[in-house]
Structure 1
Amino acid sequence: MLMVLLLIWMKKFKWCVHGNHDSGGGIMAFRFTDLVRATKNFSEKLGGGGFGSVYKGVLNDSTSIAVKRLDRACQGEKQFRAEVSSVGLIQHINIVKLIGFCSEGDKRLLVYEHMPNGSLDGHLFKKSNANGDILNWNTRFQITLGIARGLSYLHQSCRQCIIHCDIKPENILLDASFVPKIADFGLAALVGRDFSRILTTFRGTVGYLAPEWLSGNAITPKIDVYSFGMVLLEIISGTRNSSGNTRNNYSAKFFPVQAIYKLHGGDVQSLVDPNLHGDFNLEEVERVCKVACWCIQDNEFDRPTMGEMVRVLEGLQEIDMPPMPRQLAAMTEQYV
């Protein structure tokens, strides 16, 4: 009966229970009791967010899983539908794999592949502990390239353009080999190929929001490009872009201001995480910094597409020096 209801529900929202030819099948419908057993009654919490909590589990075939248990609020239902509709059929190395879900009564759960190295923020920002290894530059560069490829796939290669709407280090998961996988599609918006913009009441995370979204304008995939640029700057520095919320001398605390200022001055090496002790590829750092500064341009039309940024990061396309965004320029006037 559950599968019949699932088929009706997916047909209503134009979803399909079968994946593409590469997936060898579709997503699975789990019973709630199965997930209670798999997670040992949700005993090992991996993390949480605004919509619910994530727990570690193991299926009968010994597959490790991450189970997202959504809150019962209406917003949780919206997130549930957004995640299943956007990521349910995607098979890409840089997109987290949705294994299945549970929809019983008011219970909404999503079952994902488990990422043993957690999220990117845990490796970038939580340093100075005895067991925590610093991500080396090569790993950071490969993570950068992987995120770019994943976003390019979402924007340009899916049947419908998928705008993630909340790209940030917390939503980039790392597998056992530190391959990055974009996760948490609860705010995602699907845009038909005949439409260039979409209105949404959802908002992402402060610090990664593009200017046009803050102004209430309809959004395009360029909001993900902006967020990607902000994430790249944090990958370079190993710290949050904003080191504090104080208004006094805020420009000196906002890393993107320093980044484009140093880039124009030919001093990108001073931007790199000091924990790397100078062990990095300067040409790659400059390339990533240029990409980041193009991505955070005020005008969305000045930002490149993710496909273009993949080619630049792969060294297949040259990139000019980015101009100083007007909003950052206002901060730079006070920079010392």
Structure 2
Amino acid sequence: MLAVDTCLIAVYTLCIYVPKLEDLVQVYFELEMAEKEEDNLLETVGLPTRLLFRDIKEATRNFHVSIGEGGSGAIFKGMIRDGTVVAVKQIKGQPSRETEFMTELRVIASLQHIKLVRLLGYCLTRRGDRYLIYPFYENGSLDAWLFAGEEKRRLLTWRLRYQIAIDVAKALKYMHYDCLHMILHRDVKPANILLNGEFQALVSDFGISKLVGRYESSVRTKAKGTFTYMSPEVVTHGAISIKSDVYSYGMVLMELVAGRRNNQPGTYGENQQRYTYFLKIAREKLVEGKLIEVADKTLVRSGEVTEEELAIVVKVALWCIQDRPEQRPIMTDIVEMLQKRRSVDLPPRSPIQILSLFHRC
């Protein structure tokens, strides 16, 4: 009888504790990984908080509210224990993404700028999934406003758009010149520009960023990013530099003016004449002094936008997207141009390569 009782107790104990084995294994894994990560990241300044997986599940209510997809995984809304509302970016466990995760962790942890998204914490799991925890920005990404219907675009006034252009330029200037290492973002686009409650812009998503030597003019690597924002030299032979970020930034400027994607056809004028590429029509109208005809109609109706400021932004954009990298300005000069502390000349010609590249889209 004693043997039976002992057996029953053993079975009962297993029933209680076996479901917890998974959690115990995860905790052991996290403790082991914590030591390894500390060794790997000793050189990183401002290392963010390392969270346990159970904290992530609790914060997101078991990944209940999905708020979108990033370049490498789903993004969930949550709340951590101190009451901070957060966005949790999941990076699925794939060997090829391990380097990507560590890149983003190292890059963001070393960045200290008001116009860059701040990393609050991170988590590693034994299954290989990784999580990055950021502040939640209630107005989401720029593309959700810029490429929306007229009602939402109307709220994105010219004053806001102009300030967004300056904010992003300052963030990239910091990455290129004011960090310990030069950092190339490599995927500058509206989806990676977040807006806080006051519509102030912050640059995000550093998953494919690259740290390069301060005196390296260009680095060859596999082309990554979003095709329609890639410079010709990145598309054709994978040559990345600060000038490839400048190019992508110029494409964003054009979309801020147009309120549409650069490869999306549109119309202008009283007769609703059609154009295929905004990049081409923008330069033509710039020369004619009629940029107001092709600007986002919600801006024109507001009466807030001026031909002078449209010309500044479009000139800067056209310089940024010149075919030859050496013709493009640096972010330091771009900030001064947009702040009207430096004059902007008319670019020599319309970019040619980009128009042919758009035919592939």
TM-score by length of 1: 0.89
> Which residue is equivalent to 1:247?
none
> Which residue is equivalent to 2:287?
264
Distance in 2 of aligned mates of 1:97 and 1:206? 26
Q: Report which stretch shifted further, 280-289 or 233-242.
A: 280-289
User: Does 2:169 align with 1:148?
Assistant: yes
Q: Which one of the candidate residues 322, 333, 337 is aligned to 1:308?
A: 333
Relative distance call for 1:132 and 1:314 in structure 2 (3 A) is: closer
Q: Displacement of 1:204 after TM fit?
A: 1.2
> Which residue is equivalent to 1:108?
130
- Asked if the contact 1:148/1:310 (under 8 Å) is kept, the reply is yes
Distance in 1 of aligned mates of 2:179 and 2:241? 15
User: Does 2:304 align with 1:282?
Assistant: no
> Which residue is equivalent to 2:276?
253
In the alignment, residue 144 of structure 2 is paired with which amino acid?
Answer: G
In the alignment, residue 273 of structure 1 is paired with which amino acid?
Answer: D
Larger fraction in helix: 2
> Which residue is equivalent to 2:62?
41
Q: Which runs of 4+ in 1 moved over 6 A?
A: 328-331
Distance in 2 of aligned mates of 1:116 and 1:293? 32
- Asked if the contact 2:93/2:130 (under 8 Å) is kept, the reply is yes
Looking at CA atoms only, which structure, 1 or 2, has the larger radius of gyration?
Answer: 2
The number of residue pairs the alignment matches comes to 314
> Which residue is equivalent to 2:25?
none
Q: Report which stretch shifted further, 267-276 or 310-319.
A: 267-276
What CA deviation, in whole Å up to 9, does each residue of 1:217-242 have, x standing for no partner?
42211001000000000000101111
Q: Report which stretch shifted further, 198-207 or 302-311.
A: 198-207
Distance in 1 of aligned mates of 2:254 and 2:317? 6
DSSP-derived class of the 2:67 partner: strand
Distance in 1 of aligned mates of 2:264 and 2:355? 19
What CA deviation, in whole Å up to 9, does each residue of 1:185-206 have, x standing for no partner?
1110110113222122141112
> Which residue is equivalent to 1:10?
41
Q: Which one of the candidate residues 191, 198, 208 is aligned to 1:170?
A: 191
> Which residue is equivalent to 1:320?
345
In the alignment, residue 311 of structure 1 is paired with which amino acid?
Answer: E
Equivalent residue runs for 1:284-299 within 5 Å: 284-299=309-324
Q: Displacement of 1:86 after TM fit?
A: 1.2
Distance in 1 of aligned mates of 2:353 and 2:200? 32
> Which residue is equivalent to 1:182?
203
Equivalent residue runs for 1:201-212 within 5 Å: 201-212=222-233
> Which residue is equivalent to 1:198?
219
Equivalent residue runs for 1:212-223 within 5 Å: 212-223=233-244
Q: Displacement of 1:330 after TM fit?
A: 7.5
Aligned sequence identity (%): 36
In the alignment, residue 269 of structure 1 is paired with which amino acid?
Answer: I
In the alignment, residue 130 of structure 2 is paired with which amino acid?
Answer: R
Q: Report which stretch shifted further, 49-58 or 226-235.
A: 49-58
Structure 2 stretches of 5 or more lacking a match? 1-30, 266-273, 357-361
Relative distance call for 1:73 and 1:291 in structure 2 (3 A) is: same
- Asked if the contact 2:104/2:209 (under 8 Å) is kept, the reply is yes
In the alignment, residue 125 of structure 2 is paired with which amino acid?
Answer: E
Q: Which one of the candidate residues 146, 160, 163 is aligned to 1:124?
A: 146
Q: Displacement of 1:111 after TM fit?
A: 0.7
What CA deviation, in whole Å up to 9, does each residue of 1:51-94 have, x standing for no partner?
11000111111111110011222332222112111111211111
CA-based RMSD of the aligned residues comes to 1.9
Distance in 2 of aligned mates of 1:330 and 1:63? 45
Distance in 2 of aligned mates of 1:93 and 1:171? 16
Distance in 1 of aligned mates of 2:333 and 2:96? 35
DSSP-derived class of the 1:257 partner: helix
DSSP-derived class of the 2:112 partner: coil
Structure 1 stretches of 5 or more lacking a match? 20-25, 245-250, 332-336
User: Does 2:251 align with 1:230?
Assistant: yes
- Asked if the contact 1:213/1:223 (under 8 Å) is kept, the reply is yes
In the alignment, residue 41 of structure 1 is paired with which amino acid?
Answer: N
DSSP-derived class of the 1:98 partner: coil
Distance in 2 of aligned mates of 1:224 and 1:329? 15
